[in-house]
Amino acid sequence: MDNLRKRAKRSKRNEWWLAAALLFPNLLLLVLFTYRPLIDNFRLSFFNWNISSPNSTFIGLNNYVEFFTREDTAQVLLNTLVFTFFAVVGSMVLGLLLAMLLDQKLFGRNFVRSMVFAPFVISGAAIGVAFQFVFDPNFGLVQDLLLRLGISSPQFYQDPKWALFMVTFTFVWKNLGYSFVIYLAALQGLNKDLAEAADIDGASAWTRFWKVTLPQLRPTTFFLSITVTLNSVQVFDIIHTMTRGGPLGNGTTTLVYQVYTETFSNYRAGYGATIATILFLILLTITVIQVRYMDKENKQK
């Protein structure tokens, strides 16, 4: 009996050592390339540092005070909120609709699925350059289509509202394939018996979707709400290639783009780190709220 206990303890100890050996390289990389830069960025936010200089000056909370008192902060926060909201809602709603459509037995659906997903794997910078011509108010595709309808093209590169719409639409078009693929996989794993039972009971298509399909997709929707939000808040390449944060100063400048501008254009790495820290805290808060809401929903079931 003692031999069996010793053998069990030895086996358990060996499993712990194996787990530690497998996890250590990943944890080391995570600490070096994620947590260390995060802590260093937070430290840097208390300094005034010209990125081209080896010296920095400790200024305490001055960077944070400046951020919350600057005139352009409200506009940048509003741009970030509007862009993120419509990017997330647009990507998820259109992704779900396309997934439900292409989950049916249609001719050529595999080809269409590939076409929907293809933009997601293309560089955002390349798509941004391409859509510069699509939205060009003089000879772009949008201008041509509107001209055929007798409507003049909006000035996408002069009006801040239309410029924000332009970059949001481009982001949704590029990232639609991600939500589409995730939702399509979830739809193919649904319990078909529930849908058949609702069909037998005479439920309408809308009732089946609202009462049967959508509740089963709740975990997928929760997952996408977090990942798409994180992706949209951090978008840089599309904005940089299409508008450079303009027009009229900060027309399409978001928090991430302001980090780039302050750090590499204005050479204020300390202030850029401050904005990055605030953005991190905002994303952390949103994620915690989403997770707690989902936990609450699961406990009520």
Q: Per-residue pLDDT tens for 223-275?
A: 999 999 999 999 999 999 999 998 888 999 999 999 999 999 999 999 999 99
* pLDDT reading at 196 higher than 80: no
205 pLDDT band, cuts 50/70/90, is confident
- Tell me which H or E stretch contains 48: strand 47-49
Token digits of residue 34: 């994620």
Residues 77 and 56: their CA atoms lie apart, in Å, by 28
Residue 92 CA: distances (Å) to CA of 2, 34, 114: 59, 28, 18
175 pLDDT band, cuts 50/70/90, is very high
Average the pLDDT over each of 11-15, 105-109, 209-213 and give the range with the smallest value: 11-15
Amino acid at 273: A
The answer to whether the beta carbons of residues 173 and 115 sit under 8 Å apart is no
* pLDDT reading at 26 higher than 60: yes
* pLDDT reading at 171 higher than 90: yes
pLDDT of residue 296: 74
Residues 234 and 80: their CA atoms lie apart, in Å, by 10
Residues 98 and 180: their CA atoms lie apart, in Å, by 7
Mean pLDDT, the chain, integer: 89
Residues 159 and 201: their CA atoms lie apart, in Å, by 53
**Global confidence as pTM:** 0.88
Residues 143 and 10: their CA atoms lie apart, in Å, by 73
pLDDT of residue 301: 59
Residues 259 and 245: their CA atoms lie apart, in Å, by 11
* pLDDT reading at 53 higher than 90: no
Beta-ladder partners of 58: 47
Average the pLDDT over each of 1-10, 94-103, 286-295 and give the range with the smallest value: 1-10
